[in-house]
Amino acid sequence: MTIAQSTVRIASGEVAGTGAGTDVRVYRGIPYAAPPVGPLRWRPPQPVAPWAGVHDGSRFGFDPMQLDEPSRGSLAPGASEDCLTLNVWAPADVPAGGAPVLVWFDGGGFVAASGAKARNDGERFARLGSVLVTVNYRVGVFGFLAHPALSAESPQHASGNYGFLDAIAALQWVRDNIAAFGGDPKRVTAFGESAGGAVAALLLISPLARGRFDQVILQSAGSFRPLCPLADAETAGRVAGDDLATMRALPATELLALNAKINPAVRGLTIPRPLRPIIDGWSIDRDEVDAFRSGVFAHVPTIVGSNANEGGWFTANIPVTTTAKLRDYVAQNFGADFDEAWTHYGATSDADVVRAVGDAFGDAQFSYGARSLAREIVKRQPKTFRYLFTHAGAHTSDPPVHSDDITYVFGTGTFDARDRRVSDAMMSAWVHFAATGDPNGPGAPHWSAYDAIRDNYLTFGADFAEGTLWRAGPLGFIERFYAARAV
């Protein structure tokens, strides 16, 4: 079936996209919820009002409110609280039953994110026969501020997870509207990287997200660490003040400063963070680890993985450059377990300190979560696949750091032939998985399902070989460290 026109009708009105007469149609800046401004600041997303006329889908909507970082590569016109929009790339030729749908949640430590980044362009996914959706969700103090007064006014006695609720609302929008773009609403894959991957993982345990997606891809998800309880997050949120009317009247630019007051300058590796999804008792009703280990999560097909040097991207912002400072850093984060932690994250000279800090950060924040998610999900869903991204790229000999995989997944990097080979393999696997729940198929490398005993994974690098037991020693230590504190 060929869809030649670029104007479609959805529940809230008509949307005019670009690309009529070509093989890819693009629809930008589509509102999926009401603007969360004025009295809707710090409230769950509300239904979007139908519009008259035709929505201009040629331009991206505003990014969520965040500090201006030109390096983030967004094509949005700026940042605003009026940010609850999404973007759709769709093939002109779609099968009679519709094309599989991938819904992307961007990362940024829950204080930044954009559905309009150039590196997340969905054109190549559409050319491979999928519908690609990128979503804006509220971040920072606008998306994750918990406060006693906000909980008190809530019918659910909950606050803080507004950005997470945005993600759930966007998935419902996809279920309700994606058929108009040629997508199959019964084949929806939620995926994301870093904070976006954590969002996708938390969707698995949220009672409010049940039935709104069919499978997940978790890239470097910041997952499987203890979540902050509502009461602790409310205490941290009181830095915003005590009068809700005054807080809601403050200009958005003034509120941005609260991010730094709530988030520590140097992130604690093992301490729950209040300015991110928390246990609010409603959208997330229990700790993530408890939910997965008890089986209270959506048992859907899953891809989960991480990069070879996850922590390397963060070391420039961690002021630890000598062995003496490293000893303090390890002690602050692992306390009574210092001796064992030092066997994994110690250094014999200052020259090795940055590497050690990167290993500790990457293991605690990302690699441990990837392995733990695979180990728990596979107990109830045999279609669980783990990967390790090791490709250094054409322009460096260093192992890939956090987020380096994204341009390969979207096919948007400046690539040589080796890079394109890795990118094509990843894209093929992601598209086959979106279509069938299994990443194996033409153009994709053979990928065995995960086995917790073998601890196997597919390597995306110089070759596509299967590996086992990657960093098993330090990741086992992280697991024991958290388990001892959960007793």
Nearest-10 crossing angle of helices 353-362, 338-345: 110
Residue 7 parent element (H or E): strand 7-10
Q: Is 42 left (phi over 0), alpha (psi -120 to 50) or beta?
A: left
Our answer to whether residue 288 is catalytic in this structure is no
Q: What is the DSSP string of 190-231?
A: EEEETHHHHHHHHHHH-GGGTTS-SEEEEES---SSPPPBHH
Closest CA to 63 of 77, 46, 47: 77
Residue whose structure tokens are 């965040």:
66
Neighbours of 145 (CB within 10 A): 28
Q: Which of 193, 402, 423, 432 is catalytic?
A: 402
Q: Which of 193, 288, 310, 376 is catalytic?
A: 310
d(CA 23, CA 93): 7
Neighbours of 5 (CB within 10 A): 11
Q: Which amino acid is at 40?
A: L
Q: Which of 194, 306, 367, 423 is catalytic?
A: 194
The CA dihedral of 80, 86, 89, 95, to the nearest 10 degrees, is: -170
d(CA 451, CA 484): 25
Closest CA to 289 of 166, 172, 178, 373: 373
The CA angle 100-105-107, to the nearest 5 degrees, is: 145
d(CA 460, CA 464): 5
d(CA 292, CA 296): 6
d(CA 237, CA 250): 15
Our answer to whether residue 402 is catalytic in this structure is yes
Our answer to whether residue 6 is catalytic in this structure is no
Q: Are 85 and 115 in contact (CB under 8 A)?
A: yes
Closest CA to 387 of 434, 445, 474: 445
Q: Are 263 and 237 in contact (CB under 8 A)?
A: no
Task: List residues with catalytic annotation.
Answer: 194, 310, 402
